[in-house]
């Protein structure tokens, strides 16, 4: 059983290393332009606006137009002054391989996608590229009454971002509601169907089809739609996983710095009005509470906000999962911030396996857990610390989450000698769709290293008794004793 688990872990690790190792940024000259060795035979962009961030998926058929095989496909970074791109992934749809392709951030302007195998001249390949646009949704108006409906504006280009010319393309917007008071209308002569864009089918808006679109062409457009829900954004998340072999325990603590990016209140908050609303439960842009789904069997959950546990929490378990429900002491309206920490313990045997006949261990844990918000939540910066037992060596990791920085240091805790080996991973611009992405950590932990702390404790106790005996045997009287 253990060897099977380790084999599967190694396969998953190989899948993650190719993706995790290519998440560094490379600088290029400011005048860099991708070589025109591809064209897009057909491109469809789907933009989903039903969450607190915009999620875009490009399905593109690329064709090698050069006389040599090509393996590097470039995509412009479609971001504005306040918008950041996160969760970028690319997959080859012509194969059954589920692993993402390697991606580099090239300078400030481009993503570079490395094809698994070079594409031969005049051949085609289908790619699926997905990413999130964080902080791209702007409340209009920026201030609202406490009970007013919220509307968001999303500005975009009707032409999908591309570094290459495109034969045929269209852009689809998936909106959360049919209440869309404003949207850009494009003239009929731009589309091949000679009809004005967009075409509406329920909550789906379609711009195009557009033909013979030049490289990096833009066609500004915008849409304003109702979204009376909170826009949750974690400015920072610090997540600690502490592994204890002696206690057989995996202790988890998460520290959140949340902000609601929804429209701000134009007047002071009214508690009386809020209590009146609680009976009718209307839609609101305020955060009422959070639900954290945890693994079955977790123990001792706790919840503390900045000034102590003055908010309401409830914990329930079942065979499938455990739920920790949190309710802040006040509703978190637009532009308000809320900081808190949660933690729990779990049986280490659920996450850790020992490789037979070796001193190696494999730890398999979720990289990101956190709240399960139906309206979505984005993370600007996530710092994950895996605190291993003292004496752990040869630490390696693999994950499909894009990592921008990783370090291995020592962390001193109670009764440590040199300190516990700590792996620190940093990721930026993540979204809640990365929940439960796996992190594999392998390390060596010799048998004698496990006895280090008991030996230190025994030596300390022995030294204490020895020191007490030595001090007690010292004659501390003043003057000489007289013979009787």
Nearest Cα residue to 390 out of 332, 450, 433, 443: 450
Nearest Cα residue to 257 out of 235, 232, 231: 235
Domain pair 32-135+151-226 / 232-453, same fold: yes
Nearest Cα residue to 47 out of 156, 126, 152, 148: 156
pLDDT at 287 over 60: yes
For residue 228, give both structure tokens.
């009376």
CATH fold of 232-453: Immunoglobulin-like (2.60.40)
- Which CATH superfamily does the domain covering 32-135+151-226 fall into? tricorn interacting facor f3 domain (2.60.40.1730)
For 278, phi then psi, to 5°, come to: -60, -20
Angle at 84 (CA atoms; ends 78, 85), nearest 5 degrees: 60
Mean pLDDT of 301-319: 77
Query: Over the stretch 357-381, which tens digit does the pLDDT of each residue have?
Result: 888 999 999 999 888 877 889 999 9
Nearest Cα residue to 421 out of 401, 439, 441: 441
Higher-pLDDT residue of 352 and 467 is 352
pLDDT at 465 over 90: no
| pLDDT tier, 280 (very low <50, low <70, confident <90, very high otherwise) | confident
Mean pLDDT of 295-312: 79
Q: Are 73 and 113 in contact (CB under 8 A)?
A: yes
- Per domain, the residue ranges of the chain are 32-135+151-226, 232-453
Query: Over the stretch 25-64, which tens digit does the pLDDT of each residue have?
Result: 454 445 678 999 999 999 999 999 999 999 999 999 999 9
Mean pLDDT of 455-482: 76
pLDDT at 5 over 60: no
Angle at 262 (CA atoms; ends 257, 267), nearest 5 degrees: 105
């Amino acid at each position: 059983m253990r060897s099977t688990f380790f084999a599967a872990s190694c396969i998953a690790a190989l899948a993650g290393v190719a993706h995790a190792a290519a998440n560094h940024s490379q600088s290029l000259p400011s005048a860099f332009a991708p070589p025109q060795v591809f064209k897009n035979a057909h491109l469809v962009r789907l933009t989903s606006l039903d969450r607190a961030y915009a999620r875009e998926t490009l399905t593109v058929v690329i064709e090698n137009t050069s006389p040599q095989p090509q393996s590097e496909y470039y995509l412009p970074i479609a971001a504005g002054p306040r918008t950041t791109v996160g969760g970028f992934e690319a997959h080859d749809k012509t194969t059954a391989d589920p692993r993402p392709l390697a991606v580099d951030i090239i300078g400030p302007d481009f993503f570079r996608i490395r094809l698994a195998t070079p594409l031969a001249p005049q051949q085609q390949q289908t790619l699926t590229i997905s990413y999130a646009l964080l902080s791209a949704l702007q409340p209009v108006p920026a201030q609202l009454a406490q009970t007013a409906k919220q509307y968001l504006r999303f500005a975009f280009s009707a032409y999908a971002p591309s570094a290459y010319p495109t034969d045929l393309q269209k852009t689809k917007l998936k909106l959360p509601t049919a209440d869309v008071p404003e949207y850009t209308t494009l003239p009929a002569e731009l589309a091949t169907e000679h009809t004005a864009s967009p075409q509406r089918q329920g909550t789906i808006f379609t711009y195009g089809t557009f033909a013979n679109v030049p490289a990096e062409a833009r066609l500004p457009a915008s849409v304003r739609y109702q979204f009376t829900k909170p826009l949750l954004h974690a400015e920072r998340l610090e997540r600690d996983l502490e592994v204890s072999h002696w206690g057989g325990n995996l202790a988890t603590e998460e520290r959140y710095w949340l902000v609601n990016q929804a429209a701000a209140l134009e007047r002071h908050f009214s508690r009386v009005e809020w209590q009146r609303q609680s009976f009718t439960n209307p839609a609101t842009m305020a955060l009422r509470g959070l639900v954290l789904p945890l693994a079955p069997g977790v123990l001792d959950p706790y919840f503390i906000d900045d000034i102590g546990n003055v908010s309401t929490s409830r914990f329930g378990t079942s065979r499938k999962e455990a739920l920790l429900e949190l309710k802040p002491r006040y509703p978190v309206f637009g532009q308000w911030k809320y900081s808190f920490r949660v933690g729990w313990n779990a049986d280490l045997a659920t996450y850790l396996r020992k490789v037979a006949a070796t001193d190696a261990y494999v730890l398999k844990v979720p990289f990101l857990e956190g709240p399960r918000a139906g309206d979505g939540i984005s993370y600007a910066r996530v710092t994950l610390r895996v605190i291993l037992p003292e004496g752990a060596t040869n630490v390696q990791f693999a994950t499909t989450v894009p990592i921008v920085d990783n370090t291995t240091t020592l962390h001193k805790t109670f009764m440590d000698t040199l300190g516990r080996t700590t792996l620190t991973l940093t990721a930026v611009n993540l979204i809640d769709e990365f929940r439960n992405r796996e992190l594999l950590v392998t390390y060596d932990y010799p048998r004698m290293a496990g006895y280090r702390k008991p030996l230190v404790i025994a030596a300390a106790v022995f030294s204490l008794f020895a020191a007490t005996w030595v001090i007690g045997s010292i004659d501390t009287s003043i003057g000489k004793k007289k013979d009787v």
